């Protein structure tokens, strides 16, 4: 990408450097540019071309660093309290899209450049932050700093699109970005790192520009702690995949398979994993990466075809928590919020109160239905 000509640049940067990562996509090197914005937050620009554009106008102002962790003594889990997030951006107009590229003479956005391939920046309304304050003791509860990081991952400059429509090259770039952030965030000492995507109004999405997020936690959440314990005690997901593949498989590609787990909790829930145990995507070879990226788009396409609309879903990547890499089996998990066209799967009182889900579609039927959508 050549430097773009425009008005006077607004660097405001404490750090601006580029790096060629030690991974490639179809033989092409992946470039990463790190730029520190005027308000102190880092933005990382990933691409198959080196990004050299000078920055445009930037917003200043303080970044909210409040929040705290409180321990739930009956559920035995940490929760994050972040009241400053009440003021986060809520369904802005297209003209005020904060995830769009900035334009010369236009309003400043979160990305102070007029073009980019893929961008990652620290959330301005973050729940977890390296500078989180020490909480003031209150009541008879255990409290801790909400220390961590929350990133926003913007898939590209266009205001519309999804994991299917962005194409294989962009999905491969997204996967390389996730891997780089995994390595960086675990290297900084975080206990669990989870990339995820929320899609659709039913999930509560307030910014519709195609994007995902990454949370880096100072503790291992209960769900991942239980999964790590199950793997440590001998649960073999590879064996389970092989056993149930004939009835539950939706699609496969490279060394990866997408299937509806026989114990799925959501109608049409789909997982993607390697057939052999791998702790995280940083262990994927070239064939795995191609297959995984393809299936991310393929499952999204099948959902939209099945429900005849952009399907609301939650997608989360479950890699090994820190210290559990030895026997953990990575999965990417799709939880669609529809049980039929225009019928939402609501999580009502019993599910919310007990964690016991009532599933409206048998997983083997869901797999057969999704499998038939070529």
Separation between Cα atoms, residue 306 and residue 373, nearest integer Å = 8
Residue 15, class by beta-carbon neighbours within 10 Å (0-12 exposed, 13-18 middle, 19+ buried)?
A: exposed
Contact 248, 367 (CB under 8 A): yes
How far CA 251 is from CA of 18, 236, 270, 277, 295, in Å, comes to: 38, 21, 10, 18, 8
Query: Which residue is associated with the tokens 């102002």?
Result: 61
Contact 119, 43 (CB under 8 A): yes
Separation between Cα atoms, residue 297 and residue 302, nearest integer Å = 9
Which is nearest to 259 in space by CA: 268, 246, 267, 250?
250
**Would residue 211 show up in a list of annotated catalytic residues for this protein?**
yes
Residues 6+ apart with CB under 8 A from 234: none
- Of the residues 211, 294, 318, 329, only one is catalytic, namely 211
Q: Which residues are catalytic?
A: 211
């Amino acid at each position: 990408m050549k430097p773009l000509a425009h008005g006077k640049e607004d660097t405001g940067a404490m750090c601006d450097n580029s790096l060629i990562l030690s991974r490639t996509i179809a033989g092409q090197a992946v470039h990463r540019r790190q730029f520190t914005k005027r308000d102190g937050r880092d933005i990382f620009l990933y691409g198959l071309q080196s990004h050299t554009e000078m920055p445009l106008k930037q917003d200043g102002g303080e970044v909210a660093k409040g929040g705290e962790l409180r321990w739930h003594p009956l559920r035995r889990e940490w929760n994050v309290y972040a009241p400053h997030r009440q003021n986060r951006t809520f369904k802005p107009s297209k003209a005020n899209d904060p995830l769009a590229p900035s334009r010369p003479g236009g309003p400043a956005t979160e990305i102070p450049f007029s073009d980019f391939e893929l961008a990652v920046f620290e959330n301005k309304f973050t729940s977890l932050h390296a500078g989180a304050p020490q909480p003031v003791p209150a009541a008879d509860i255990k409290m801790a700093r909400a220390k961590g990081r929350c990133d926003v991952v913007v898939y590209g400059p266009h205001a519309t699109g999804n994991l299917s429509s962005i194409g294989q090259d962009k999905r491969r770039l997204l996967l390389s970005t996730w891997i780089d952030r995994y390595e960086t965030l675990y290297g900084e000492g975080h206990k669990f790192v989870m990339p995820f995507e929320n899609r659709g109004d039913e999930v509560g999405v307030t910014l519709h520009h195609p994007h995902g997020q990454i949370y880096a936690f100072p503790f291992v959440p209960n769900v991942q702690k239980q999964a790590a314990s199950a793997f440590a005690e001998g649960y073999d997901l590879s064996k389970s995949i092989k056993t149930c593949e004939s009835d539950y498989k939706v699609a496969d590609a490279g060394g990866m398979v997408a299937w509806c787990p026989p114990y799925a909790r959501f109608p049409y829930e789909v997982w993607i994993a390697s057939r052999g145990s791998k702790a995280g995507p940083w262990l994927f070879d070239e064939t795995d990466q191609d297959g995984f990226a393809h299936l991310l788009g393929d499952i999204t396409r099948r959902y939209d075809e099945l429900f005849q609309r952009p399907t609301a879903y939650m997608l989360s990547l479950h890699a090994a928590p820190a210290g559990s890499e030895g026997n953990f089996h990575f999965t990417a998990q799709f939880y669609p919020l529809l049980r039929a066209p225009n019928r939402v799967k609501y999580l009502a009182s019993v599910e919310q109160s007990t964690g016991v889900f009532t599933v409206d579609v048998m997983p083997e039927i869901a797999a057969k239905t999704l499998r038939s959508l070529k």
